[in-house]
Amino acid sequence: MATAAAGALGLLWGWLWSERFWLPQNVSWANFEGQGDGYGYPRARHILSVFPLAAGVFSVRLLFERFIAKPCALHVGIQDSGPYQAQPNAILEKVFMSITKYPDEKRLEGLSKQLDWDVRKIQCWFRHRRNQDKPPTLTKFCESMWRFTFYLCIFCYGIRFLWSSPWFWDTRQCWHSYPYQPLTSGLYYYYIMELAFYWSLMFSQFTDIKRKDFLIMFLHHLATIGLITFSYINNMVRVGTLVLCLHDVSDFLLEAAKLANYAKYQRLCDTLFVIFSAVFVVTRLGIYPFWILNTTLFESWEIIGPYRSWWLFNGLLLVLQVLHVIWSYLIARIAFKALIRGKVSKDDRSDVESSSEEEDITTSTKGPCGRSSSNGANRVNGHMGGSYWAEE
């Protein structure tokens, strides 16, 4: 029994690391043993160092949010308080938790008779109760400030590293001498740090603000990690650095716009969002297909020729391009609404947290029933977000 299990495991391991899949023709894993300078060639075991590093990144994030982001939020006037608390009521709480968070007119009338409350008062109770489940703006500000800081720093490092790399100026250099392209320390740290960050996002997604697109973002992080890991093991790290840097350039702009939004600097928010939209469309619909896909599909075909993992790698990059088109459409919708309304509207895709929906924009802002919470959590105008744009 043990022998059979060991044999099956050996077959699975051999299939997983099949040279016919991973490497071009006439290349074997043995060709990389003891070869290369500095960090040598990419190895699958290098990926194991990502997990303690991801835990370290997550720890740094907690310290950053507490000792840097939170004081900055308080400095710009974001209050450290939650939304207005609904008056305790067992009957309404039971309806809210077990039946519906948005009672219709018939149910409101029934509850009004049962409690001897005015219908308007019950509507106010449900509104306040929904807002109770929303995270405070302070929490969202701290999360965005951490992502903004990381994206900005990693983009600056990436562009500085690539500026002195020959494949940044001539993408055909991504394939010359492939797969015998040794790692440099700068390339190794850039790749491993990016991968560790996305693993930390995978972990923290279960503790961060829960959004409606939780599952989509989970799959997105999983696909991103898979693509980075795949390209590292396959030693396609040169073109991989181009992909990473191209995506980072717009991410920090979105986080900056969100920070301005949470701080209620509406003009700055709108300006940053317009800049972000332009950069996103240019990089994802222009530079990515005509620069990145051109070299992975055509230049690589000409220089090294296709092989099994080559097809998979390019297939994943094409799927990513499809997502770029979809996300660009969503951004265009928001920009169009911004032109009509005069300010950036909420992101229809994901900024509304899963625990509650945004309130009716026509609700009065005066009196206890229409009063906004102190942190502005229930405002619609200018409420952007979009977790994909922040973590792609």
Number of domains in the chain: 2
* Last residue within a domain, chosen from 341, 365, 386: 341
Residue 51 vs residues 40, 44, 46, 82, 279: alpha-carbon distances, Å: 21, 13, 10, 34, 32
243 and 196 within one domain: yes
Predicted local confidence at residue 281, as pLDDT: 94
User: Which domain range does residue 293 map to?
Assistant: 37-76+135-341
Average pLDDT over residues 227-232: 92
CATH number, residue 116: 1.10.10.60
240 and 115 within one domain: no
| pLDDT at residue 213 greater than cutoff 80 | no
Mean pLDDT of the chain: 81
Q: Which of 225, 229, 177 is nearest to 16 (CA)?
A: 229
Place of tokens 């030693």: 235
Residue 56 vs residues 146, 197, 236, 266, 382: alpha-carbon distances, Å: 14, 10, 26, 35, 34
312 and 289 within one domain: yes
186 and 94 within one domain: no
Give the model confidence (pLDDT) of 365-378 as tens digits: 333 343 333 333 33
Handedness of CA 289, 144, 337, 123 (dihedral sign): positive
- Give the three-class secondary structure for 353: strand
Give the model confidence (pLDDT) of 127-183 as tens digits: 888 877 777 889 889 999 999 999 999 999 999 999 999 999 999 999 999 999 988
Predicted local confidence at residue 389, as pLDDT: 35
* Last residue within a domain, chosen from 316, 341, 366: 341
**In 235-307, which ranges are continuous DSSP H helix?**
237-262, 266-281, 293-294, 300-303
What one-character-per-residue DSSP string does 205-228 give?
Answer: TTTS--BTTHHHHHHHHHHHHHHH
Predicted local confidence at residue 131, as pLDDT: 79
Within-domain flag for 266: yes
Cα angle value 16/221/285 (rounded, 5°)? 105
Give the model confidence (pLDDT) of 48-84 as tens digits: 889 999 999 999 999 999 999 999 999 999 987 766 6
Q: Which of 320, 221, 229, 280 is nearest to 213 (CA)?
A: 221
101 and 142 within one domain: no
The first and second tokens of residue 229, run together, are 């890991």
Within-domain flag for 331: yes
The first and second tokens of residue 356, run together, are 């509650």
pTM: 0.78
Within-domain flag for 354: no
Place of tokens 């519906």: 100
322 and 211 within one domain: yes
Give residues with Cβ within 8 angstroms of 327, minimum separation 6. 280, 284, 388, 389, 392
Give the model confidence (pLDDT) of 333-375 as tens digits: 887 777 777 655 554 444 433 333 333 333 333 333 433 333 3
